[in-house]
Structure 1
Amino acid sequence: MGRPLTEQELHNLAMNIVGRELEANGFEFMAINSKLKKNPQYVCLKEKTLHFIVVRNVEFPQDPREYDIELMEKVKNHAEKFEARTYFAGVGLSNAANQQLPVFLDEEYIVDYQGLIEIS
């Protein structure tokens, strides 16, 4: 059995999953911040509009579509100064063999990601 992924590694994995989707949907990356607790993780441009995207790894069994309202309001207020739209991207990651166990390095995992949630 490998070692459990660290909080930063889980965060990076969640960011990679969201980043691939953004790229596939034509978003242009202006800034990327992968440090924990630094928001937003992605500042992107699409159709001449800025998008601020907060990415979170959400531990099983929590719902990856639920977010910290206070945090997202703070990011949204910051985004509005740039006429940017604000999104939350929650990525549920869990061990494929047993969801009660942590996600281990080089072992299979389950992704529960249902896309961007706009904060309006």
Structure 2
Amino acid sequence: MQNPNELTEQELHNLAMNVVGEDLKSQGFDFLAVNSKLKKNPQFVVQKGKQMSFVLVRAICFPEKLHNEDKFLLDKVKAHAQKFDADLYYAEVGLGHAEDMTKALVKGEPYSEIYQGLKKI
């Protein structure tokens, strides 16, 4: 039986977006659009100087593996980005329970994250 306090897929996605959003902010990107809905891409449209960029964000939880990008999705969003002369970045955030990575994330309990930054596609 699932714990009713486990984070939902949307909550995990929002957590990953917060991590990536803070990184974008620290790098001096200006936010043009933010979309936190699941399966709606890209999550961020940002600009730095005159260069627009699209950013895809994925929350990755055990047992799913990091660095397992959806090539079809990346190609689709890259084609869309090219119409706007925009760069495309992929940002995955590995999330896990702080005490045991095999446990689900639960509201109010500590968690760990693995974020290696933006990957230009």
TM-score range, shorter chain: over 0.9
Q: TM-score, normalised by structure 1?
A: 0.95
Pairing 1:39-54 to 2, within 5 Å after superposition: 39-54=41-56
Equivalent residue number for residue 76 of structure 2 = 74
User: Identity rate of aligned residues, in percent?
Assistant: 50
CA distance in 1, matches of 2:17, 2:39: 13
The residue correspondences of 1:12-27 to structure 2 (distance < 5 A) are 12-27=14-29
- Within 5 A, what are the aligned runs for 1:1-120? 3-119=5-121
3-state DSSP of counterpart to 1:76? helix
Please give the alpha-carbon distance, in whole angstroms, between the structure 2 residues aligned to 1:58 and 1:10. 9
Alignment gaps of 5+ in structure 1: none
Q: How many residues align?
A: 119
Counterpart CA distance in 1 for 2:7 and 2:111 is 11
1:48 shift after superposition: 0.7
Q: Measure, in 1, the Cα distance between the counterparts of 2:68 and 2:117.
A: 12
Question: Displacement of 1:62 after TM fit?
Answer: 3.0
What's the Cα RMSD here? 1.3
TM-score, structure 2 as length reference: 0.94
Structure 1 CA distance for aligned equivalents of residues 117 and 39 of structure 2? 21
**Counterparts of 1:53 and 1:60, CA distance in 2:** 23
Between 1:53-62 and 1:7-16, the stretch displaced more is 53-62
Q: Report the secondary structure of 1:102's partner residue.
A: coil
Structure 1 runs of 4+ with >2 Å offset: 61-66
